[in-house]
Amino acid sequence: MFYKFIINLFVLILLTFIVVGCTSKRSDADSKNFIVVGTASGYAPFVSFNENKEYEGFDIDVAKEISRRMGKKLVLKDLGGMTSLLLALKQGKVDLIIWAISITPERTSEFDLVHYQGEETRFLTMLFWERIPPGISKIEDFNNLKGPADPGKNVYVSVEPGSSNEAFLSRFDFIKTKPMEKISDAILDIRYGKSIAKMVDPAIVDNLRNLYPQIQVLKIPLTGDWRILGNGIGIRKGNDELRKAINEVVRGMKRDGFIRTL
């Protein structure tokens, strides 16, 4: 009985090594044939679902074209929001992240960003429900919303966790940020007074105003290092071969007018 157990254990270990070896080879082959792109739905007009529950949007078309020009099959991973996207990129679970990511000096120190669309942005946008509170015209005015008679009520500003908006607002100790992954949830938050405002990138404002006509918009000026230099495709630092390949593909997409057409 003991010898039979040893033989069975040996066979099991041998089979495990065979399976692991085959899996490793398949993964190596997949890395050559597939391009894995991390993104997140609910961010129209860049990434959303159509009536058939299929991905659509500017960034989806960009991802599809990149995979076509590279001769690889596209694999999309919907990771919910910026925090999960960055973690997946750092861990090598995705090759790229394409999600209208703002190019800022802080971000380029964490991972590489290949510009593919958008111009320099000199302001961010703050969304309010139905009206902008009296006396609020710039970021410093939010300090006036806190007072001894009503301390801390409705002074939260909702932001995408891990976003450049969150980093920008963290400079101001009189603003309390409220991380919320989904924009739809953040809109409900300001509608029912849980947060006073929602900060978003200007590129999605028109679409949100079409969906929610009650939204009022305040422009918050950006200066110095906080200016946004368009949107970039995120690549893990050290992956120089992929960065060069994406740079070349994106240059071609700009040169032949594909980006402009989108």
- Torsion, Cα 142 144 140 119, to 10 degrees, reads 30
The domains found in the chain, sorted by start residue, are 22-119+229-261 (3.40.190.10), 123-221 (3.40.190.10)
Tokens of 113: 């960003």
> Pick from 146, 143, 180, 155: which is nearest to 165 by CA?
180
Confidence at residue 240, expressed as pLDDT on a 0 to 100 scale: 96
Q: What pLDDT, on the 0 to 100 scale, is given for residue 146?
A: 55
DSSP bridge pairs for 78: 39
Question: What's the pLDDT tens digit per position in 123-147?
Answer: 889 999 999 999 888 888 888 775 4
Given a cut of 50, the residues of the chain with pLDDT beneath it are 1-29, 147-152
Answering whether pTM is above 0.75, one says no
The DSSP call for residue 132 is: P
pLDDT (tens digit, 9 = 90+) per residue, 24-68?
333 444 667 999 999 999 888 999 999 999 999 999 999 999 999
Separation of CA 4 from chain center:
55
Separation between Cα atoms, residue 180 and residue 217, nearest integer Å: 19
For residues 51 and 149, what is the distance between their CA atoms, to the nearest angstrom?
48
Model pLDDT, residue 16: 36
Question: Which pLDDT belongs to residue 21?
Answer: 35
Task: Report which residue type is found at 237.
Answer: K
* Residue 261 CB coordination number (10 Å): 8
On whether the CB atoms of residues 250 and 116 are closer than 8 A, the answer is: yes
**Alpha-carbon distance 181 to 186, whole Å?**
8
Q: What are the backbone dihedrals phi and psi of residue 3, each rounded to the nearest 5 degrees, phi first?
A: -65, -35
Is 102 in a helix, a strand, or coil? strand
CB atoms under 10 Å from CB of 154, counted, come to 14
What is the length of the chain? 262
